[in-house]
Amino acid sequence: MTAIQPNAGLRERGKERRRDRILESAKGLIRDTGVDGLTMGPLAESAEVSLATIYNLFGDRTGVLTALVSRVMDDLVQRLDAIDEGDPLEHSRAFITTSVDHLTSDSAFFRPLVVALAPGANPGLLGADEVATRSVVVHARSITAAIERRQLRDDLSPELLGYQVFVGWITTQTLWGLGAVDDDDFGPFALYHRAATLLAVATPKTRESLLGDVAGLEPQLLASLQAMAGRWEHPASD
């Protein structure tokens, strides 16, 4: 018979509390110094644990960052799973707006993180590929359902269209992470990419709706582009 260890549950809860404290400290360091500032010594000091504890729980710095990405993405996935799937095009739109709302709720943390998650930026970092795949699949499924409802034509591959929507999203997200796009313009730019992509296969009624969407977005985005051009022509001096 296996002996019962009454303290095993306490030890596991203690371990989870230390993990939580380390990950919260990692978020704080990223807010203050960016992903490059997430190093083991300052992290141990901030979390008030030993270096050995961090290595035992996470393995190394990449392990900490991977665990942090997994945690914040789990939170985002829960929000995305709660989206009403009634109208497929509205679901696709809500996928973007929900993601933007989540990221901009803590810009100081998420901006450097999404740059670290950009394709090719950190090949050893787990989580980036899963996020990309999920985004493409969600948009492709929404497009397929919209074709079945005759909201979109079946001229082009839903998978490739979903990928194009994702490319617009990841481009805008990366520019936001780098500071080239501000919080207020993040969502509108991503939605403009989506609408412009879907217009290629829109049925007449859907086309009218999408054109109305882009017409409403264009004044804000054109003003933003003009401001960007001004900053590029007249960069701030140190």
Domain ranges of the chain: 8-59, 65-232
Question: Which range (133-137, 148-152, 194-198) has the least confidence?
Answer: 133-137
Tell me: the pLDDT tens digits for 167-209?
A: 999 899 999 999 999 999 999 999 999 999 999 999 999 999 9
The closest alpha carbon to 130, from 193, 225, 194, 66, belongs to 66
Tell me: the pLDDT tens digits for 46-104?
A: 999 999 999 999 999 989 998 998 888 888 878 877 877 789 999 889 989 999 999 99
Could you tell me the fold of the domain covering 65-232?
Tetracycline Repressor; domain 2 (1.10.357)
Place domain 8-59 in its CATH homologous superfamily: Homeodomain-like (1.10.10.60)
How far is the C-alpha of 135 from the C-alpha of 193, rounded, in Å?
14
Can you give the pTM of this predicted structure? 0.83
* Neighbouring-strand partners of residue 202: 152
